[in-house]
Chains A and B, each alone.
Chain A
Amino acid sequence: MKAPCRYWSSVTASIAVFIALSTSAMADAPLAYETIQPSKIVMGESAILRVTSLDSELQNMKLPEVSGLAFEVLGHTRQMEFIGGTASESSSIVIRVTPQIAGIFSIPGPTPKSQPLILEVNTDRNSGNLPLTLNGKAPRPPEPPEPKKGNSAGIHFAADGSAFVQLKMPKRAVYVGESVPVDIEVGVEPGLVTSLNGLPTIKGGDFTLNNLSRQPERQEQILDGKPFLKMIWHSVLAAVKPGDFSLTVDTPLTVKISNRPSEDAAFANLLGGPFLQNFYNGIVPKEITITSSPSELHVLALPTNGRPADFSGAVGAFKISSDVSAVQMTAGDPVTLKMHVSGAGNFDRVDSPMLDHIDQWKTYPPRSSFSSTDPTGYKGEKTFEQPLIAAQPGEQTIPGLSFSYFDPETRRYERAQTAPIKVTIDASRADGSLKAPAGGASPDTRLASRTSKGLRPDHPLTADSTTTLIPLYLQPRFLALPAALALLLAGGLIGLRRAPKRVASKATERMLAQLSAVARSGDSSTFLVTARQLLLQTLAQRWRIPPEEITPAELDARLGHDAEDIGRLFALADEAKYSGRAADGADFAQWLQIVSRQLNYEAPP
């Protein structure tokens, strides 16, 4: 009987351990999920986000934070849910989601392991094929456009075939600086691609991709029998140098992949609710970057023959016109001359100095503004505004304006011109009062009139001018001057510090040569007297005292061990001077060595 008891005990223990492990595993599993309805809206509408929890802990839930979306709690609900035949209590929180900008948003799940929800917000109904609602009643939805069918030839897909990116260019040969409108198409398979993690970018530094439209166009397309949501960005491509190039476009995105075996996925398909399906599927997001197939581009250099002197680098097809803010004005009043350059091309290189100098007019530098007629800035109008002030009354003519550009279609430089404008200048008012510029259409007229009354008068012009506003002492070229001066002065200081030793060294060499010459002549008395004189001069200079103050006591105090030899030399010099005692050759060599050592600061051997 003991054996069966032990068997049942072990079975019971195993079951208990299994239940405990299952409970802990379930505790880690997500017990909350969320839904959003509808998942596609337009600006001005709201979506309802419902977060449901099975463990009734939603009171402390933090609202998600997504840039561009506003979240507002509408209320809490509690309900009974029947899952797998078992009743369980759950609570929900209902949140209104209001977009502030259009785009595709990823709303994080209620738990860290939850899948994020995707909310698509369009600017208008046409862009996203959304149903139009009117007074809460949805009219019959229009027939959805038939998705385009095509094949995948020439398209470079991601490894799992869930997405692709394509670069479409209208031409394969362009000029340096020429703006070329391009389309970047990114296709994603709905359900497999959860989010785009950034805008498409072009590879390589020899090109610039300007003004990428922030909101892509959306189309549905069927490729090889699979539906794809195609997003098309419009942009302008420009090359910075000539040559043959191969262009590719990268796009980062997140796709869903399953990290469970296919058997688990099959089992998940048998389950009823999507929540449990997700639980068993093991779907996880993965960030990837897809790259387009290379596109070849031939970039030509702009011709140098016939290039106008005022060519600013504008490449495209342009037209110009001009006008003035008033054709009749008073001398001294400002008038605004405008030049409009319209067309298609690289407007960032469209520049004009307008009128540099006109007789009897005061000219000011122009300002420019650009208004685009397409999202990429490829087409539009650039307006140059130049303030002019007439100095003399009478009939005057403002000369015509010209603008040079390169036309890639005709492959030559073109010059556009405007007609001269005649204006009438009245004599200046006697009171010289200030007024707003002619035309008077400025929105700040009140400010102008209020301001002009309190301004101090203009200054007479002087000849003083400068080419830059950067203070002189912050200009690198000027800074070289004080730096060089400081270096020079520091060098001078160092030179002065080293100079006495070098001078002393040369003087010592001269004195020793003189002493050697005396020694070679064999005149001992002259040698000893000269040696003493040299030593006295050197030591006096070194110790900064007069030579007569160098006494035997001073020598003892300062020279220590060498004082004995020097003292003996001084005594012999006195003796030679007064008694004429001769010294032999060995004495000369010895004394020369002693004197040399003292003059050169050398230590005794």
Chain B
Amino acid sequence: MKSMRAALIGALALLSAVAAAQPPATAAPPAAAAAAPATASSPDAAYSAAGLYNLANSYARAGKPGMAVLDYERAALLAPNDADIQANLNFVRSSLHFPPQAQGGLARIARITNPTAVAWIGVLGILVAGASLLVAKVLARRRTVWVAGLCLGIAAIGFTVCNAIVLGPKIHEAVVIASTTSVRATPVPMGDPLLQLSEAETVTITAGHEDFVLVRTATGRSGWVARADLADVVPRRSVR
């Protein structure tokens, strides 16, 4: 019993220490920063779902569908269950005659809440599952209690993993922000053009070479595109 108590105390202490070290996910930013998405040129800004959504709306009204889709995608990462974001994103896509994006059952489950909450649910799942295993060692006869705890913990971990499977690929996605861009066979400006991508199309980046990135389109075709014509859905550099 003493060992279990020590382990639990240690776990809680570690949890508190790491949580204290984390940047506050819901820190109150300056008003202007809350409205604005971060870029390299706005180092004090921060991302907010409402700010990104409003900015995407502005871009859509200004006739810049590439930037609009980019910011809708970014807003959807922070608020995946926001119906307005999805509706406007689908509307802009459909106005450009893009096919609607299919959303499977796994994606619908994963989009119940935002990824930050999902991450903490996963940690809680590890705690509950681990504690259940410890209880099983000490109180072997209370089978119902620890089996229920173990199932709950595994379900929470599974929910987090499911969310990561759905949202993980978004990290490598990018949106075409130029009016058109050529997909080339080789990563040089003289490379043979294979096909054209329209503004606001979403592609997956698989590799990079100097000023070009190797992309895979929604139809499965691959080629090199000028890096300047794309914008990452998830910017590589976090905002300080």
Interface residues of A (CB under 8 A from B): 67-68, 100-101, 103, 214, 334, 351-354, 356-357, 362-368, 384, 387, 389, 434-437, 442-448, 450-452, 454-474, 477-478, 480-482, 484-486, 488-489, 491-493, 495-497, 499
- Is the beta-carbon distance between B74 and A364 smaller than 8 angstroms? no
- Is the beta-carbon distance between A461 and B34 smaller than 8 angstroms? yes
- Is the beta-carbon distance between A482 and B61 smaller than 8 angstroms? no
Assembly CA distance A480 to B53 (angstroms)? 32
Contact flags B36-56 to A (C-beta < 8 A → 1, else 0) = 111111111111111101110
Q: Closest Cβ of chain B: how far from A496's Cβ, in Å?
A: 5
**What are 20 A-B interface contacts by the 8 Å CB criterion?**
A67-B192, A214-B188, A353-B42, A357-B30, A387-B58, A437-B62, A447-B95, A458-B57, A461-B50, A462-B34, A464-B26, A467-B23, A472-B118, A484-B14, A485-B126, A492-B3, A492-B4, A495-B3, A495-B7, A496-B4
- Is the beta-carbon distance between A469 and B78 smaller than 8 angstroms? yes
- Is the beta-carbon distance between A364 and B58 smaller than 8 angstroms? yes
Q: Does B147 contact A (CB under 8 A)?
A: no
Q: Which of A445, A452, A472, A477 contacts B115 (CB 8 A)?
A: A472
Q: Which of A101, A477, A482, A495 contacts B122 (CB 8 A)?
A: A482
Closest 8 CB pairs of A and B: A444-B63, A492-B7, A489-B130, A448-B63, A468-B238, A471-B115, A472-B119, A465-B46
- Is the beta-carbon distance between B61 and A467 smaller than 8 angstroms? no
Q: Please give me the residue from chain A that is nearest to B25 by CB atom.
A: A466
- Is the beta-carbon distance between A468 and B133 smaller than 8 angstroms? no
Additional 15 contacts, C-beta under 8 A, given A365-B37, A456-B87: A351-B41, A356-B42, A442-B64, A444-B63, A447-B63, A451-B60, A461-B34, A462-B48, A468-B47, A473-B163, A478-B18, A485-B123, A491-B7, A496-B4, A496-B138
Known: A456-B84, A465-B51, A466-B78. A473 touches B119 (CB 8 A): yes
Assembly CA distance A458 to B75 (angstroms)? 12
- Is the beta-carbon distance between B61 and A368 smaller than 8 angstroms? no
Q: Which of B3, B7, B26, B43 contacts A353 (CB 8 A)?
A: B43
- Is the beta-carbon distance between B84 and A436 smaller than 8 angstroms? no
Q: Closest Cβ of chain A: how far from B207's Cβ, in Å?
A: 20
- Is the beta-carbon distance between A463 and B29 smaller than 8 angstroms? yes
Assembly CA distance A232 to B39 (angstroms)? 39
Q: Please give me the residue from chain B that is nearest to A462 by CB atom.
A: B50
Q: Does B154 contact A (CB under 8 A)?
A: no
Q: Which residues of A contact B65 (CB under 8 A)?
A: 444, 447, 451
Q: Which residues of B contact A488 (CB under 8 A)?
A: 7, 10-11, 14, 130
Q: Which of A351, A364, A482 contacts B36 (CB 8 A)?
A: A364
Assembly CA distance A366 to B65 (angstroms)? 17
- Is the beta-carbon distance between A465 and B60 smaller than 8 angstroms? no
Q: Please give me the residue from chain B that is nearest to A352 by CB atom.
A: B41
Within 8 A of A (CB), among B156-184: 160, 163-164, 167-168, 171, 179
Q: Which of B36, B62, B64, B171 contacts A474 (CB 8 A)?
A: B171
Q: Does B107 contact A (CB under 8 A)?
A: no
Name, among A444, A452, A460, A465, the residue most crowded by chain B CB atoms within 10 Å (CB to CB).
Answer: A465
Known: A356-B44, A357-B32. A469 touches B235 (CB 8 A): yes
- Is the beta-carbon distance between B127 and A485 smaller than 8 angstroms? yes
- Is the beta-carbon distance between B51 and A443 smaller than 8 angstroms? no
Q: Please give me the residue from chain B that is nearest to A481 by CB atom.
A: B18
Q: Which of A67, A100, A455, A459 contacts B61 (CB 8 A)?
A: A455
Q: Does B209 contact A (CB under 8 A)?
A: no
Q: Which of A443, A471, A499 contacts B119 (CB 8 A)?
A: A471
Q: Which residues of A contact B234 (CB under 8 A)?
A: 469-470
Q: Does B31 contact A (CB under 8 A)?
A: yes
- Is the beta-carbon distance between A467 and B37 smaller than 8 angstroms? no
Assembly CA distance A460 to B54 (angstroms)? 9
- Is the beta-carbon distance between B26 and A463 smaller than 8 angstroms? yes
Q: Which residues of A contact B138 (CB under 8 A)?
A: 496
Assembly CA distance A67 to B53 (angstroms)? 45
Interface residues of B (CB under 8 A from A): 3-4, 6-8, 10-11, 14-15, 18-19, 21-23, 25-51, 53-55, 57-58, 60-65, 67-68, 74, 77-78, 84, 87-88, 91-92, 95-96, 115-116, 118-120, 122-123, 126-127, 130-131, 133-134, 137-138, 160, 163-164, 167-168, 171, 179, 185, 188-190, 192, 233-235, 238-240
- Is the beta-carbon distance between A489 and B88 smaller than 8 angstroms? no
- Is the beta-carbon distance between B92 and A451 smaller than 8 angstroms? yes
Q: Closest Cβ of chain B: how far from A22's Cβ, in Å?
A: 45
Q: Which residues of B contact A457 (CB under 8 A)?
A: 57, 84
Q: Which residues of B contact A447 (CB under 8 A)?
A: 63, 65, 95-96
Q: Which of A368, A387, A455 contacts B41 (CB 8 A)?
A: A368
- Is the beta-carbon distance between B119 and A448 smaller than 8 angstroms? no
Assembly CA distance A486 to B160 (angstroms)? 15
Assembly CA distance A367 to B40 (angstroms)? 10
Q: Which residues of B contact A454 (CB under 8 A)?
A: 91, 95
Q: Which of B3, B21, B190 contacts A101 (CB 8 A)?
A: B190
Known: A365-B39, A461-B35. A214 touches B11 (CB 8 A): no
- Is the beta-carbon distance between A465 and B63 smaller than 8 angstroms? no
Q: Closest Cβ of chain A: how far from B210's Cβ, in Å?
A: 10
Q: Closest Cβ of chain B: how far from A247's Cβ, in Å?
A: 20
Q: Which residues of A contact B49 (CB under 8 A)?
A: 459, 464
Q: Closest Cβ of chain A: how far from B139's Cβ, in Å?
A: 11
Q: Closest Cβ of chain A: how far from B75's Cβ, in Å?
A: 9
Q: Which residues of B contact A214 (CB under 8 A)?
A: 188-190
Q: Please give me the residue from chain B that is nearest to A471 by CB atom.
A: B115
Q: Which of A334, A443, A460, A473 contacts B50 (CB 8 A)?
A: A460
Q: Which residues of B contact A474 (CB under 8 A)?
A: 164, 168, 171
Known: A451-B65, A472-B119. A456 touches B130 (CB 8 A): no
Known: A365-B37, A458-B57, A481-B15. A496 touches B3 (CB 8 A): yes
- Is the beta-carbon distance between A473 and B88 smaller than 8 angstroms? no
Q: Which residues of A contact B25 (CB under 8 A)?
A: 466, 472
- Is the beta-carbon distance between B40 and A351 smaller than 8 angstroms? yes
Assembly CA distance A20 to B60 (angstroms)? 80
- Is the beta-carbon distance between A465 and B47 smaller than 8 angstroms? yes
Assembly CA distance A452 to B61 (angstroms)? 5
